[in-house]
Amino acid sequence: MEAFLLSTGIVAIAEMGDKTQLLALLLAARFSKPWPIVMGILVATMANHAMAGALGAWATTLIGPQALRLILGASFLLMAAWMLIPDRLEDDDAGGKSPSLGVFGTTVLVFFLAEMGDKTQIATVMLAARYDAYLYVVAGTTLGMMLANVPVVWLGERVTRLVPLRVVHIVSAVIFAGLGAIALLIPA
């Protein structure tokens, strides 16, 4: 039970203000369909965190900490630039129209990819290594992600009615650029 509770708490706190929490807000603003988004986040998180132990251990044997820091820093800066490029739904003024994968499928895909190499994924790797309770760790880290992201999906949609999506993109770009600068300028 200790592994479950500690995993839940650590990930819920680590997720506050994290890029995947920003992604949850952007998905809520884009699609205005909270249930498929929440279910997509759940499925993506369960899959990602279930794989985190093996994937994390494998990646750290291939990439040294300095190279990983540089790759992450550059990736954050690229994501910041990408946030400023309007996507097709904005250009076409399609409102909350579902993408080709649907809201659920899109959420699963983008959330799973965004979580790769994220601090909550790394926390899952470390917790799984620390405790001999793999299922409790995965369940706890998944619950922590849901505790941090579900309110953003439900309340974020209401906020985005007041705040234009372009403003959300600009703020997200600034945050991603800040994360990139920190990763590149401050050694781990």
pLDDT at 88: 43
Supply angle C-alpha 66, 177, 71, rounded to 5: 25
Mean pLDDT by groups of 10 residues along the chain of 188 residues: 87 79 87 94 96 64 73 72 58 52 93 86 76 82 94 76 68 76 78
Give pLDDT tens digits for 50-91. 998 666 556 556 777 787 678 767 777 876 776 677 644 333
CB contact set of 163 (below 8 Å; sequence gap of 6+): none
The Cα 5–Cα 143 span in angstroms is: 10
pLDDT at 40: 97
Measuring CA to CA, how many Å separate 123 from each of 36, 68, 163, 179? Answer: 26, 16, 33, 18
pLDDT at 92: 40
**Contact in structure between 58 and 116 (CB atoms under 8 Å):** no
pLDDT at 38: 97
pLDDT at 25: 87
The Cα 183–Cα 173 span in angstroms is: 15
- In the chain, domain spans: 2-185
Q: Which residue is associated with the tokens 């600034």?
A: 174
Structure token pair of residue 3: 């592994």
Supply angle C-alpha 128, 131, 137, rounded to 5: 50
Q: Which run of H or of E encompasses 153?
A: helix 134-162
Structure token pair of residue 114: 């965004």
DSSP class of residue 63 equals S
Q: Which residue is associated with the tokens 């949609």?
A: 157
CB contact set of 62 (below 8 Å; sequence gap of 6+): none
The Cα 188–Cα 172 span in angstroms is: 23
